Structure 1
Amino acid sequence: MSIPPPPGPQGPWSQGQYPQGQYPQGQYPQGPYSQGPYPQQPPPPGGAWGQPYGAYPRQPPVSGLAVAAFVLGVLCCVPALGLVLGLIALARIRKRGERGKGLAVAGSVLSSVGLALWAVTLSTGAVGDFWDGLREAARGEGTAYALEKGQCFTTPSGSLRGVTYDVERVRCQEEHDGEVFASFDLPGGAFPGDEEITRSADERCYALQDTYAMDRWALPADVDVYYLTPTSESWRTGDREITCLFGNADEQGTLTGSLRNDGTGLDPDQHTYLVGEGFLNRAMDGIPAAEAVEDDLAGYRFWAGRVSEALAQETSTLRGHGWSADAEEPVSDLVRDLEAAREEWRLASEAADADTYYEHLDKAYGLVESDATVTARKALALDTTPPVYEEDGGGGGETPGKEV
């Protein structure tokens, strides 16, 4: 939305009026008397005050610098320039005998006042606040890409798919469509295309969810990860932000209550356990898109190697912590199962064919999802309902997402 500039000052004379001695040739102001024609009178026998016959005394022109100083002083847009022009105009008026001294003085005074006001606003930070406000308006206060971590919102359509340009923030305790858990900016440059933006959002958002909701077992089964991404139109206005959020797996479903669980409410044992488990969760997210191992044996072998490495990080984290008396034995039993699972994942990563891969995969999942995990979680007062992992791929489905 453009904002028209403030109206400028009017000139020293209204349209159609002229100062004495500057009427257009052959035109003179008419009074309230009856109009001519009148008989032409002969010229007087001598000129006025010694001037040649028919000549009128001419007044000096108005200083253009004086007019410019007055205009700048009224607008107060460049007060320093208005003051300089006013002082120069006064000097030229004295030297050349031009008119406009009053305009030059007024412009200088108004510009001086403007300079004083600018000095006050700079010293109090008002200018910074003004520009911050402009930046917030340009960024889109009240739009989808103005959301921050921890905020919940609803959309006009009630859906987290498609395109939206505005959202309504609500308390997370109320019914809402989405809850923001992270955001990040894409690099500048030309618009990378919807496909590339979706790939970046999918890769980063799933990796960032554990920083906001550390315990995936505590997430409701109907919760999924969505994201808000720039469109080609918003990209041109400087929008580079991808917003990661939780929403209902049902497109028209809603959530109630916050899903935040980022460590502030956890004791040291719970926090350490969830940090270790996070390595495994993020490796599991990298499951290949192919529906079956036969379709991408190389991809599944690489994924199994990543899971094996993640289990090594998890067991190292769990072994290095001093557990409370109630949790020490259950966690030790879990570590033994995880180390056995790590070996099965390693063997799967080296499988020569799909049948061998499936053999080790079944044993690996059985150890990861053993009763020892539930027992350790119960001892730590964590949720004991395990999430469902996709054992046979399934990563090729449509990824939830919304453009803004």
Structure 2
Amino acid sequence: MSIPPPPESQGPSTPYNPYAPPPEDAPGTPQPQPPYGAQPQSPYAPYPQDPQPPYAPYGPQPYQPWNQGYSPYNHPAPLNGMSVAALVLGILCCVPGAGLVLGLIGLNQTGKRGERGRGMAVTGIVLSAFGLVLWAFGVAGAASGFFDDVETGGGSSASASPGKGQCFDAPSGSLEGMAYDFDVVSCAGEHDGEVFAVVRLSGGSYPGDKKVTATADDRCYALQDSYAMDGWAVPDDVDIYYVTPTEQSWSLGDREITCVFGNRDEEAGLPGGSLRNDASTLDADQVAYLKAAHVLNAALDSAPDAQYVEDDLPGHKAWAGRVSAALTAQTALLEGRQWPDAAAKPVADLVKDLRKAQRQWAKAAGAADADEFYGHYDKGAELIDPHLSVTARKALGLATTPPPYEEDDGSGDSGGGDTGLEV
């Protein structure tokens, strides 16, 4: 678009410019000729063939041409509405999906139409994408509540699985079957379960129900003593439950096994009060005694699977050797500590019995046949009878009621399986 010349002035003429061409209609004025081979050029004509504009000015020019029309000021491009909407939705994070879509549309339109708002569109896209990520994590967290019951129970929290030391209620009132959420409650009142350990699994693909079940069974039963160090203080009707991830929740990032104390009757609950008794609730002498006792208990729990000694004499002899070594370690721990005056003599008397038991278990480990094994096993078992430790426990302020001896039917005097001995 050409710029129109200023209106003709009635005042003085343009000052003399020796380099300005004279008017074409001046009589007798020679016209300059272009060099050889060149075409005449107009200062405003982009191509040689264009005709001379009717008002081609000469001399000093009062205005410079503008790209967007005849105006001494450049009007700003319009603001893109999609970009504005994307920015608002991105800041509010109320509808992150809509904010992301509007931001992409606005970004495209600003490029095609030359409109302003590109920065707004980019900011809206970033904020909306962040909002979508938070929303996705929220969905994954809720979906992680889809835990599967393995063997005896299961559940999860609607917001997060209960942590170690927390008590909860199952909305269904049962720790059996599928559970979709946990209601965390105070341990002071009645509750359905108490979490005593959380095990984190690893791996990319789901290992399968059987492997997850086996892992939960092994880890939860091994970890119960670290939370409830004094097994005698755990009520007889308390059992171990655990919650494991399903294949579906695994795909959403669930990798936790939750180990839980609950009532043996899955429809019943636990009375008020936490079952936790560890270094956070016990004194140093109590912890030292229980740590020594756990050395022997771990060895006793490693009995072979064979029900009768005759079925696996080498396995039972190896087990007796582990018990003998544990008794040696236990007596060393008990003798190596300075006990309070009230507990010094009861602990010393207990150590004497443990030393006698160690010799019998060592002889059982070297038995030539099953009959010889039984003879030494019976004597050794009598010397580590739980009732022999009641006096020392009472002096230390620990529980004094031994847990019941649960013997498998038909086990006889085999010595295999669960011995029921715990000091």
Question: TM-score per shorter chain, which class?
Answer: 0.5 to 0.7
Counterpart of 1:368 (choices 363, 375, 384) is 384
1:1-48, Cα deviation, whole Å (9 max, x unpaired) = xxxxxxxxxxxxxxxxxxxxxxxxxxxxxxxxxxxxxxxxxxxxxxxx
Give the Å deviation of 1:289. Answer: 3.4
Aligned partners of 1:73 and 1:108 also within 8 Å: no
Distance change in 2, residues 1:376/1:196 (3 Å): same
Q: Which amino acid aligns with 1:111?
A: A
Distance change in 2, residues 1:322/1:168 (3 Å): same
Counterpart of 1:210 (choices 206, 219, 225) is 225
Q: Which amino acid aligns with 1:176?
A: H
- Identity across the alignment (%): 49
Aligned equivalents of 2:385, 2:160: Cα separation in 1: 39
Aligned equivalents of 2:401, 2:376: Cα separation in 1: 25
Aligned partners of 1:213 and 1:261 also within 8 Å: yes
Find the counterpart in structure 2 of residue 74 from structure 1. 85
Distance change in 2, residues 1:253/1:79 (3 Å): closer
Aligned equivalents of 1:152, 1:371: Cα separation in 2: 32
1:100-143, Cα deviation, whole Å (9 max, x unpaired) = 34xx21x336337648x95xx99xxx999878756644533725
Instruction: Calculate the TM-score normalised by the size of structure 1.
Output: 0.66
Aligned equivalents of 1:129, 1:369: Cα separation in 2: 58
Distance change in 2, residues 1:209/1:370 (3 Å): closer
Partner SS state of residue 174, structure 1 = coil
Q: Runs of 5+ in structure 2 lacking a partner?
A: 1-76, 87-98, 146-155, 419-423
Q: Which amino acid aligns with 2:302?
A: G
Counterpart of 1:223 (choices 238, 241, 250) is 238
Counterpart of 1:308 (choices 324, 333, 344) is 324
Aligned partners of 1:176 and 1:254 also within 8 Å: yes
Find the counterpart in structure 2 of residue 18 from structure 1. none
Aligned equivalents of 2:133, 2:337: Cα separation in 1: 49
Aligned equivalents of 2:348, 2:400: Cα separation in 1: 18
Aligned equivalents of 1:240, 1:215: Cα separation in 2: 29
Q: Runs of 5+ in structure 1 lacking a partner?
A: 1-65, 90-99, 396-404
Aligned equivalents of 1:269, 1:295: Cα separation in 2: 42
Aligned equivalents of 1:144, 1:277: Cα separation in 2: 39
Partner SS state of residue 269, structure 1 = helix
> Quick check: which has more Rg, 1 or 2?
2
1:305-354, Cα deviation, whole Å (9 max, x unpaired) = 33223223322221221111111121111112112222322332333333
Aligned equivalents of 1:251, 1:320: Cα separation in 2: 43
Aligned equivalents of 2:367, 2:175: Cα separation in 1: 41
> Does 1:110 find its partner at 2:120?
yes
Q: Which amino acid aligns with 1:188?
A: G
Mapping for residues 167-316 of structure 1, pairs under 5 Å: 167-256=182-271, 257-316=273-332
Find the counterpart in structure 1 of residue 341 from structure 2. 325
Count, aligned residues: 311
Aligned equivalents of 1:142, 1:371: Cα separation in 2: 41
Q: Which amino acid aligns with 1:250?
A: D
Find the counterpart in structure 1 of residue 92 from structure 2. none
Give the Å deviation of 1:380. Answer: 0.9
